[in-house]
C-alpha cells in the first residue's frame, strides 16, 4: 500500500478561537501577532505529540525513586521559519521547542506561472539556497509557514531539504491555514510528509491566498503593500 500524506487539524478549542481571531478583518495588527503566536504554540504542541524524541529515565523524588520520560537532547532538531508570518508562529512554538536551532528564510511571493517556468525555478533555488548546507542524518525539521496556498513555497523548501538528504518523514510542517489545491500538490510529491494546520480552506485566489483565508498577512501585520489578485 502506498503512503498518503498526513494532514492533522487538531480539534482544540483554543486553536479554533485563535484561528477565528486571525480571520476577522477587524482584528488589529497587535492581536493578529498574538493569534499567530498562539496558533504556533498549540500547533507545535500537537505536532510534537508523536514526534519529539524521548527516552526513559529514573529520578529520585523526596520520598523514593520514580520512573519517567525525558526529552532526548542527543537528537538534533531544527526549526525553519519563513519571515513575514512564520516568525510569529515560531515565537509561539519556541515555548514548546526551545532547544532547536533556528533558520530564517526570506521568500516573498512565488512568481506567476507554472512550476517549470525559468523565473519560478530561479525563485525556488533562491529559497532552497537559504537552507543549511549540512543537515544531520538524525535531525528532525519543523517548517513554519503562515499559510499554504498553491504550495509553491512549501515545495521549494521541501525540495531543498531533500537535496540535503532530509526526507519528508523527518519533517513536520506547521501552518495556520492550508488550502485544498496546495495540499493536493504537496501530497503528490511528498507522500511521507505530515502537516499540522488550524484549518483547510477549499481554494486559493490568483495571489496564492487561501479562500476565505486571512487576507494578505504581511499587509495586515506590517502595513506592507498588498499583493494584487
Domains of the chain: 6-53+69-222 (3.40.50.2020)
Q: Which pLDDT belongs to residue 199? A: 97
How far apart CA 173 and CA 195 sit, in angstroms, is: 5
Q: Which pLDDT belongs to residue 202? A: 96
Q: Which pLDDT belongs to residue 130? A: 94
Residues linked to residue 57 through DSSP beta bridges, in sequence order: 68
Cell of 220: 495586515
Beta strands 140-148; 77-82: pairing state: parallel
Query: Residue 79 in 3-state DSSP?
Result: strand
Q: Which pLDDT belongs to residue 52? A: 85
- pLDDT tens per residue across span 127-159: 999 999 999 999 999 999 999 998 999 999 999
**Whole-number Cα distances in Å, 216 to 22, 147, 182, 222:** 11, 10, 17, 10
Low-confidence spans in the chain with pLDDT less than 50:
1, 228-229
The H or E element spanning position 68 is strand 64-71
Residues linked to residue 79 through DSSP beta bridges, in sequence order: 102, 142
Q: Which pLDDT belongs to residue 187? A: 96
Count of C-beta atoms within a 10 Å radius of residue 200: 16
Q: Which pLDDT belongs to residue 1? A: 39
Amino acid at each position: 500500500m502506498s503512503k498518503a500524506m498526513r494532514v492533522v487539524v487538531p480539534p482544540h478549542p483554543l486553536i479554533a478561537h485563535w484561528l477565528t481571531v486571525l480571520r476577522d478583518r477587524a482584528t488589529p495588527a497587535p492581536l493578529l501577532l498574538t493569534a499567530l503566536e498562539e496558533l504556533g504554540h498549540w500547533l507545535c504542541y500537537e505536532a510534537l505529540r508523536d514526534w519529539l524524541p524521548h527516552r526513559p529515565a529514573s529520578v529520585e523524588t523526596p520520598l523514593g525513586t520514580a520512573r519517567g520520560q525525558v526529552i532526548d537532547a542527543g537528537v538534533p532538531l531544527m526549526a525553519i521559519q519563513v519571515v513575514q508570518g512564520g516568525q510569529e508562529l515560531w515565537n509561539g512554538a519556541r515555548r514548546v521547542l526551545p532547544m532547536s536551532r533556528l533558520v530564517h528564510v526570506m521568500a516573498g511571493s512565488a512568481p506567476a506561472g507554472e512550476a517549470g517556468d525559468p523565473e519560478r525555478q530561479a525563485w525556488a533555488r533562491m529559497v532552497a539556497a537559504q537552507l543549511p548546507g549540512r543537515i544531520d542524518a538524525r535531525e528532525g525539521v519543523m517548517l513554519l509557514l503562515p499559510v499554504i496556498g498553491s504550495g509553491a513555497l512549501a515545495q521549494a523548501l521541501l525540495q531543498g531539504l531533500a537535496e540535503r538528504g532530509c526526507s519528508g518523514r523527518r519533517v513536520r510542517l506547521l501552518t495556520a491555514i492550508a488550502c485544498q489545491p496546495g495540499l493536493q500538490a504537496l501530497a503528490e510529491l511528498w507522500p511521507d510528509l505530515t502537516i499540522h494546520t488550524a484549518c483547510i480552506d477549499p481554494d486559493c485566489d490568483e495571489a496564492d491566498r487561501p479562500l476565505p483565508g486571512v487576507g494578505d498577512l504581511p499587509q495586515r501585520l506590517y502595513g506592507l503593500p498588498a499583493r494584487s489578485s
